[in-house]
């Protein structure tokens, strides 16, 4: 079974802090994704990566950056956390097929910025 592991389940940070959310997958998937989930808004794509050191902006990249130095690890970085970034963050991975393929999700990191 594919396992996508997010390093923290809950995180509380202060406004202005630099925040790192880590995600690791163990199935050698090429694609990795970061989504943000908010009530009434569903899941919105922040960034995705289809290969090591490759990244593309999703629908809401402002205020975020990402890093993918190894195939299995995809990090989401909040350069200067703000209260409007309080949310549930979901990492996902999938195989590279050239078309949309099912995503495998981690259990999420609930981030609170105070």
Partner 1 sequence: AQSVTQPDIHITVSEGASLELRCNYSYGATPYLFWYVQSPGQGLQLLLKYFSGDTLVQGIKGFEAEFKRSQSSFNLRKPSVHWSDAAEYFCAVGRDFGNEKLTFGTGTRLTIIP
Count H helices, E strands: the chain? 0, 11
For 66, the enclosing helix (H) or strand (E) is strand 64-70
Q: What Å distances lie between residue 102 and 12, 47, 51, 87, 109, CA to CA?
A: 31, 17, 17, 23, 21
Q: Is 96 in the site for partner 1 (CB under 8 A)?
A: yes
Bridge-partner residues for 23, per DSSP?
Answer: 6, 74
Binding-site member from 11, 43, 60, 77 for partner 1 (CB under 8 A): 43
Min dist CB 15 to partner 1, Å, is: 26
Q: Is 98 in the site for partner 1 (CB under 8 A)?
A: yes
Q: Is 101 in the site for partner 1 (CB under 8 A)?
A: yes
Binding-site member from 31, 75, 85, 87 for partner 1 (CB under 8 A): 31
Q: Is 4 in the site for partner 1 (CB under 8 A)?
A: yes
Binding-site member from 42, 53, 62, 84 for partner 1 (CB under 8 A): 42
Residue 87 to residue 109: CA distance in whole angstroms: 8
Contact (Cβ atoms closer than 8 angstroms) between residue 27 and residue 93: yes
Binding-site member from 11, 45, 60, 77 for partner 1 (CB under 8 A): 45
Q: In the complex, which residues of this chain contact partner 1 (CB under 8 A)?
A: 4, 31, 33, 35, 40-45, 48, 50, 58, 90, 92, 94, 96-108
């Amino acid at each position: 079974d594919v396992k996508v592991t997010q390093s923290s389940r809950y995180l509380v940070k202060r406004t202005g802090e630099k925040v790192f959310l880590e995600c690791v997958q163990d199935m050698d998937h090429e694609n990795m994704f970061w989504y943000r989930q908010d009530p009434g808004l569903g899941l919105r794509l922040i960034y995705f990566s289809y290969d090591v050191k490759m990244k593309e902006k999703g629908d809401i990249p402002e205020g975020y950056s990402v890093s993918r130095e190894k195939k299995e690890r995809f990090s989401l970085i909040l350069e200067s956390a703000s209260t409007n970034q309080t949310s549930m963050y979901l990492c996902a991975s999938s195989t590279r097929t050239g078309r949309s393929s099912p995503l495998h999700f981690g259990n999420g990191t609930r981030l609170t910025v105070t």
